[in-house]
Chain A
Amino acid sequence: TPMQNDLEEFYAMV
C-alpha cells in the first residue's frame, strides 16, 4: 500500500 502523506508536508502552519 502506498504511504500516506501528511498535509503539513505541503502547507506551512500559519
Chain B
Amino acid sequence: MLELRLVQGSLLKKVLEAVKDLVNDANFDCSATGFSLQAMDSSHVALVALLLRSEGFEHYRCDRNISMGMNLGNMAKMLKCAGNDDIITLKADDGSDVVTFMFESPTQDKIADFEMKLMDIDSEHLGIPEAEYHAIVRMPSSEFARICKDLSSIGDTVVISVTKEGVKFSTRGDIGTANIVCRQNTTVDKPEEATVIEMNEPVSLTFALRYFNSFTKATPLSNTVTLSLSSELPVVVEYKIAEMGYIRFYLAPKIED
C-alpha cells in the first residue's frame, strides 16, 4: 500500500513540467527515504534525478519499496487537471497496475480522482559517485534560463568557463558570436539574487544548449540554480525543491574530435 499526500500539490505539477520533455517513460521509486526518479533521455546524454523526501509529505505511507513505471506525458496531463492550490495524494495498492491521483481543493469542496495505468519499464540506473567539482556556481535560476534562451538564438553549443573573473557563457553560430560574463555578486538585497562562484580550479566545458533549455523548465521550482563543473565530467544542474529535495540534471560534455 502506497499513500503519499502532498499539501503543496503544485510542486508535483512543476516537477512533471520540468521532466516530461526530456524523458518519456520512467520508474518512480518509492521507499522510506522518499519519492524518487532517475532516468536518462533517449540519447543517453542527459539524466534527471529527482528526490522528494518523505518528511516533506503531510502523510507518507510506503509499506514496501515499490517502483512504478509511468509515462510522464500522461502523468503531466493528469496533473494539469489539479488546481495550483490543490492537495495531491498518490495512491497505489500492492501489485496493482494503476496509480490514483486524488486532487482536493483547499476548502475541500471539490475532490477528484484520476486513475492512470502503470507500465513495465526496463530502467537503466547509473551509479553516480560523489565528486569534487572544480567549480560550483550558484545563480538566480531566472538569469540562467535567460542566458540559455538568449544564447540558443545564436548557436547550438555553449562553452561555460569559470575563472577568477567570473563565469562566462559563450556561443558561436552562423550569424556571429556571443559572450555573457556573470561576476560574483553577493552584495544584493536578497540572497537568492546573488551569484556565488566557488572555484578550486579554472574549468571550461562545452555543452549542447538544447538540453540546458530543457533543464530550465525546472525554473519555477527554485529561485536559484547550482552548476557543478569539473573537467571531463558531466555538469550537474541542480534546482533545490524547498523543504523537500531536489531535481538534478546531468549532462555529458562535448569533446573536441
A interface residues with partner B (beta carbon < 8 Å): 1-14
Contact = CB atoms under 8 A, between A and B. Distances in A.
Contact of B252 (A1, A10, A12, A14): A10
Given A2-B206, A6-B44, A6-B45, A11 B128 contact: yes
B208 interface: yes
B109 interface: no
Contact of B254 (A5, A7, A14): A5
Contacts of A13: 124-127
B40 interface: yes
Interface of B: 40, 44-47, 124-129, 156-157, 206, 208, 233-234, 250, 252-257
25 contacts: A1-B254, A2-B206, A2-B255, A2-B257, A3-B255, A3-B256, A4-B208, A4-B254, A5-B234, A5-B252, A5-B255, A6-B45, A7-B40, A7-B44, A7-B45, A7-B46, A7-B250, A7-B252, A8-B126, A9-B252, A10-B252, A13-B124, A13-B125, A13-B126, A13-B127
A13 B126 CA distance: 4
Nearest to A4: B254
Contacts, number: 57
A7 B233 CA distance: 9
Nearest to A14: B127
B45 A5 contact: yes
B157 A1 contact: yes
A9 B45 CA distance: 10
Q: Which A-B residue pairs are the 7 nearest by beta carbons? A: A2-B254, A5-B252, A14-B127, A11-B126, A12-B127, A7-B252, A3-B257
B255 A1 contact: no
A2 to B, nearest CB: 4
